[in-house]
Amino acid sequence: MTFGEKLAKAVEAHGPLCVGIDPHPSLLEAWGLSPTAEGLERFALTAVEAFGGQVAMVKPQAAFFEAHGSRGVAVLERVIAELRDSGTLVLVDAKRGDIGSTMAAYAQAYLGDGSPLAGDAVTVSPYLGFGSLQPALDTARATGRGVFVLALTSNPEGAQVQRAVAPDGRTTAQTIIDFASARNSGISPCGDVGLVVGATIGETDVDLSGFNGPILAPGFGAQGGSTADLKRLFGPDMRNVFPTSSRDVLKHGPDVSSLVSAVRRVQESL
């Protein structure tokens, strides 16, 4: 199946929620775990047990695994494998972006068949030019996977680049959206190029009406994003939006049943 077909099937079964696995040291401490590779493994696999088969998509944040070196990366590989075995889509939040052969290597690592780091999709950064993402776009399409391109992020510094206006009058964010829209054109039920648009950005000031792809909306829950914010930001485009909740769910661990109950409450709110 295409990535869009996989997403449609997952949403039909579980709704649009994406849950993050962010093994932040403060969360490990709150769960009574040590900030070590062993604590990371217990945290991450408990989350896998709670979320696998319960939500449309799970988003492990790669940086928190990489911080533990090779042992942490090995845990990430296991998380990806076990989630995929459970039938849950995995979006690896790695935000990779480079040019030429280096981007091609990133694409093989996170989107290539046979790679232990390849989930079902990966986040990428387009700020070396949208065309620099071509190896990732091509690999994703060839393997039935997806990419989520940073468009409008919630950090205040992002506006310096994302809301900058080009000579043609479009903002950088709008240019990225337009490139992604063109890539997805004519694909049903939706394209394999998604966008990342923060749920706490205030106003989008962009045109998403022609975008035929999934929109990841991080910041829902603990970071302040609400269902009202989602409706205000995305309006009729809500059908393609995947709100992401991480800390707001993870704070209910380490008890698996409490984590599952937290997920169900968020799903019902959506």
How high is the pLDDT of residue 221? Answer: 67
The full set of domains in the chain, from first to last, is 3-269 (3.20.20.70)
Whether 117 has a pLDDT exceeding 70, the answer reads yes
CA distances to 70, 138, 267 from 112, in Å: 20, 10, 31
Angle between the N-to-C axes of helices 69-85 and 37-51, in degrees from 0 to 180, rounded to the nearest 10: 10
Section 24-46 average pLDDT: 97
How high is the pLDDT of residue 168? Answer: 95
Which one-letter amino acid corresponds to residue 26? S
How high is the pLDDT of residue 220? Answer: 76
Distance, first Cα to last Cα, the chain: 26
How high is the pLDDT of residue 114? Answer: 97
**Among 54, 91, 61, 95, which Cα is nearest to 75's?**
61
How high is the pLDDT of residue 240? Answer: 87
**Among 61, 60, 59, 57, which Cα is nearest to 16's?**
57
User: What is the tens place of the pLDDT at every residue in 50-87?
Assistant: 999 999 999 999 999 999 999 999 999 999 999 999 99
Q: What is the 3-state secondary structure (H, E, C) of 113-176?
A: CCCCCCCCEEEECCCCCHHHHHHHHHHHHHHCCEEEEEEECCCHHHHHHHCCECCCCCEHHHHH
Beta bridge partners of 216: 196, 242
- HSE-CB for 169 with a 13 A CA cutoff: 0
How high is the pLDDT of residue 227? Answer: 79
3-state helix, strand, coil in the chain (%, to 5): 50, 15, 35
Torsion 225-52-74-26 (CA) sign: positive
Section 166-195 average pLDDT: 96
Whether 200 has a pLDDT exceeding 90, the answer reads no
Section 102-109 average pLDDT: 98
Beta bridge partners of 18: 57, 244
Distance CA 195, CA 156 (A): 18
Catalytic residue from among 6, 95, 231, 251? 95
How high is the pLDDT of residue 225? Answer: 67
User: What is the tens place of the pLDDT at every residue in 211-270?
Assistant: 999 999 998 765 566 778 888 888 876 778 999 999 999 999 999 999 999 999 999 988
Reported as a pLDDT band with limits 50, 70 and 90, residue 205 is confident
How high is the pLDDT of residue 199? Answer: 82
State the Rg of the chain over Cα: 18
C-alpha angle 56/57/62, rounded to 5°?
Answer: 170
Whether 153 has a pLDDT exceeding 80, the answer reads yes
User: What is the tens place of the pLDDT at every residue in 17-31?
Assistant: 999 999 999 999 999
Beta bridge partners of 234: none
Mean pLDDT of the chain: 94
Whether 201 has a pLDDT exceeding 80, the answer reads no
Is 9 labeled as catalytic in the residue annotation? Answer: no
Please give the model's pTM, rounded to 2 decimal places: 0.96
